[in-house]
Structure 1
Amino acid sequence: MKFNYVNPTQILFGQNQIVGISGQIAPDSKVLVIYGGGSIKRNGVYDQVTSALENHNWVEFSGVEPNPTRETLDKAVELVRSENVDYILAVGGGSVIDGSKYVAASALYDGEGWDIPSGKHQVTQALPIGAILTLPATGSESNMGSVVTNATTQEKLAFLSPFVQPKFAVMDPDVMKTLPERQLVNGVVDAWVHVCEQYITTTNNAYVQDGYAEALLRSLLKLGQDFENRDNDEWRANLMWSANQALNGLIGVGVAQDWATHMIGHELTAAFGVDHARSLAIVQPSLMRNQMATKRAKLEQMGVNVFGLAKGDDLAERTVDAIEAFYQSLEVATTLTDHGLTTEQAVDKIVGQIESHGMVALGEHQAITLTESRQILEAAIQ
């Protein structure tokens, strides 16, 4: 193990913490509040933000979509420049926070903003960002990652930069009270796969990373099993913290990481509009079975330590079955056909997109070529 790790995001966790943003943003900053479709005006979050910023000069930008598009975000960049904004406050879930990272970096770049996720420009500076999390799922509130969609070209691409990591994040579980059931389910599934991408790889005797990953998986499994108690304060707080810890970088240090499920899933979302978390639930079981030869040991470890399965020659296979059953218990589809997609529609298009983006060697061993990607997608049609 050899790694450098720091997470500079200050977390304000718990009820009634939104008021604390007034002490996190300098009074002389010009703030842009970015949010989504307006739910924050119905659940009281907008009023809390307004009150907290009463001594600040601020403007707002709304309309950031799930799977935020560069077409919308470029308008926010224009507003940043015209209003001389010097601080971004993202109020929303992962999509709003990811989009705000794109805005923060693009605003200080002279070229096209899309150059950043497409890899043509490496971010060297960005406006500071604060986040108020309203939907736990992606961990974007305290990491350096962003995923943005180009609606025109049907591309969904990611970028990483320490310059866009939020300076602070407010995590008040009370803001989850008005979330639709579908979004809560998506949060559980998304966080679960984030852990798996850093855990179901190679055996490396990283006791802390493996142990913490398994603790998070058990937490998420319990949350899924207790989904009927989602209106409970304890349930909300545990999901919000579990989703954050799943992707704040800690469990991924010093270990091999996969992310092939995400890369293939992103293409499903970009091409067909499948919810991000639900695209992962389609891809992951088929990918695990396809890569069984190299993932068997960790799947067996997960079967015993997370699901409590009995040991045996077929333990790894039963673990994948248990993962799939977990999704299905939450009424999350695990096949492409459940989304009304045929082989010709989905497989050929997605494999073509994967190839066009140069993703011809995915996974922790770079062993998932276009052939394996096609096999994984074909196996997801039943």
Structure 2
Amino acid sequence: MDNLYSQCESSFLFGMNQENEVGRQIKYLGGSKVLVVYSKLSSSIGNLLDKVRRSLRNSGLDYTELSESFVNPRISTVFDGIKICKTDNVDFILAVGSSSVCSLSKVIAAGAVFDDSFYEMFSKKSDIEKALPVAVISTSICGGCATSKDVTVYNQMDDGSLKVMKCSSDVLAPRFVIYNPELCSINSSNYAFNFVRLIDVLFRRYFAVNKNTVLAEKVLESTIKTVLVMFDRIQEKPNDVDCITNLMWASITAYVNPMLNYNDEACVQILERALISVYDCNPEEAASIIIPAWFKFVLKKKENKIAKLGASSFDIPYNFSDIGISAARTVEFITRKLESLKLPVKLSDLNGSAADIDKILRKVGFPEIKTIGTNDPYTQTDCEVILSLAL
């Protein structure tokens, strides 16, 4: 049995037209000057921003805006946001968009009132005790991460690669999150990315579950199966609100569930960030490469759980006489699913090669650190093998 302390800092507003409530909610929480943060990369955000501006004005709130131009949020934009907050006396931050905008907004919120050197905020010894209040209007079906207190941004280095900058604090959890399924569109261009982003976090949660927590395991198995069913349906009927609603709840389940382990920083997650640092690729591209490679690496060690996942979530027959066969079929199913979505599944798909492995391992932190993964440690050699399986 694991000891548990669970507290959700965020309120949820879920449903149609809830974004119209944003001004009233911010005013109720004491905001008066709002920094609205959004991504320039979103082609469908214009109408939503008009709604947000109208709601803020109708509530008597002043506001200013900041846009991000990168898939992976940059420290340079954080500095721009901090400057705006201090110059314009911003007292509330509103993130409008997906996970990258949320991360950006939370770091700005902390940096605007951080007393020490800015980069100290990302030190493991640092204790972030205060931040400007943040709220989120999620435009992603994978918006469960909006509730997270853990954030990642990137600093561009002289060689063109990215340096991962992470921080975590309870004060970074948003005051409220607005989820409206109608704001989340799924089309041929983002279908695959949405799928892998959602399935990635569910896999991480599934393999972090304590073996004695049967209910948590069953919840995740049914959630993963629901995700596959909903994505199949949405291919036939794009932007079906009922399907999107189920997918959004699947994402929220992965982040707001007292039975799940949120303290485990998994090997998969760390390697994905390292790939982003080296190739400046989309997070979903990094995930689609690392996921099958990791499954192949742990196939023997975790064959019981992999076989169980296959039987429960993917309808792969459970071979009682040889569990390894069921586990291998499950890994093959996952790999083929990613390939069918035209996602990269090898480093070569990102123009990478074996020569990049040392660079990726250095981005992870090796050899200065000995292992990665909080509850399931992996050595440098382990990670090298995983990356080799992705060639």
TM-score by length of 2: 0.90
Structure 2 CA distance for partners of 1:106 and 1:265, relative to 1, 3 Å: same
Residues 102-141 of structure 1 mapped to structure 2, 5 A cutoff: 102-137=107-142, 139-141=144-146
> Could you list the runs of 5+ residues in structure 1 that have no partner in the other structure?
none
Does structure 2 conserve the Cα–Cα contact (< 8 Å) formed by 1:223 and 1:239?
A: yes
| Whole-angstrom distance in 1 between the partners of 2:191 and 2:44 | 19
Give the CA RMSD over aligned residues.
2.2
Where does residue 35 of structure 1 map in the other structure? 38
Does structure 2 conserve the Cα–Cα contact (< 8 Å) formed by 1:129 and 1:164?
A: yes
1:14 aligns with 2:15: yes
Report the number of matched residues: 378
Which amino acid counterpart does residue 18 of structure 1 have in structure 2?
E
Does structure 1 conserve the Cα–Cα contact (< 8 Å) formed by 2:24 and 2:55?
A: no
1:173 aligns with 2:181: yes
Where does residue 327 of structure 2 map in the other structure? 316
Does structure 2 conserve the Cα–Cα contact (< 8 Å) formed by 1:210 and 1:251?
A: no
Structure 2 CA distance for partners of 1:38 and 1:363, relative to 1, 3 Å: closer
Where does residue 333 of structure 1 map in the other structure? 344
Alpha-carbon distance, 1:96 to partner = 0.3
1:178-216 deviations in Å (ceiling 9; x for gaps): x65343421221121111112124651212211211122
Alpha-carbon distance, 1:251 to partner = 4.8
1:308-345 deviations in Å (ceiling 9; x for gaps): 2112221112111122122223221211112221111x
Where does residue 305 of structure 1 map in the other structure? 312
Worse-matched range after superposition: 358-367 or 62-71: 358-367
Which amino acid counterpart does residue 239 of structure 1 have in structure 2?
L
Where does residue 82 of structure 1 map in the other structure? 87
Does structure 1 conserve the Cα–Cα contact (< 8 Å) formed by 2:99 and 2:146?
A: yes
Does structure 1 conserve the Cα–Cα contact (< 8 Å) formed by 2:34 and 2:62?
A: yes
Does structure 2 conserve the Cα–Cα contact (< 8 Å) formed by 1:69 and 1:149?
A: yes
SS in 1 for 2:268: helix
Alpha-carbon distance, 1:262 to partner = 0.9
Which amino acid counterpart does residue 322 of structure 1 have in structure 2?
F
1:208 aligns with 2:215: yes
Alpha-carbon distance, 1:124 to partner = 0.9
| Whole-angstrom distance in 2 between the partners of 1:117 and 1:188 | 30
Residues 1-382 of structure 1 mapped to structure 2, 5 A cutoff: 1-26=2-27, 29-37=32-40, 39=42, 43-54=46-57, 55-63=60-68, 65-137=70-142, 139-152=144-157, 154-177=162-185, 181-201=188-208, 204-228=211-235, 229-253=237-261, 257=264, 259-312=266-319, 313=322, 314-344=325-355, 346-356=356-366, 358=368, 360-363=370-373, 365-381=375-391
SS in 2 for 1:169: strand
Alpha-carbon distance, 1:366 to partner = 4.1
SS in 2 for 1:294: coil
Does structure 2 conserve the Cα–Cα contact (< 8 Å) formed by 1:64 and 1:73?
A: no
Which amino acid counterpart does residue 342 of structure 2 have in structure 1?
E
Structure 2 CA distance for partners of 1:11 and 1:202, relative to 1, 3 Å: closer
Does structure 2 conserve the Cα–Cα contact (< 8 Å) formed by 1:138 and 1:247?
A: no
Structure 2 CA distance for partners of 1:38 and 1:366, relative to 1, 3 Å: closer
Alpha-carbon distance, 1:361 to partner = 1.3
SS in 2 for 1:35: strand
Does structure 2 conserve the Cα–Cα contact (< 8 Å) formed by 1:269 and 1:276?
A: yes
1:266-290 deviations in Å (ceiling 9; x for gaps): 0111110221012111112111221
TM-score by length of 1: 0.92
Does structure 1 conserve the Cα–Cα contact (< 8 Å) formed by 2:18 and 2:180?
A: yes
> Could you list the runs of 5+ residues in structure 2 that have no partner in the other structure?
none
| Whole-angstrom distance in 2 between the partners of 1:30 and 1:202 | 42
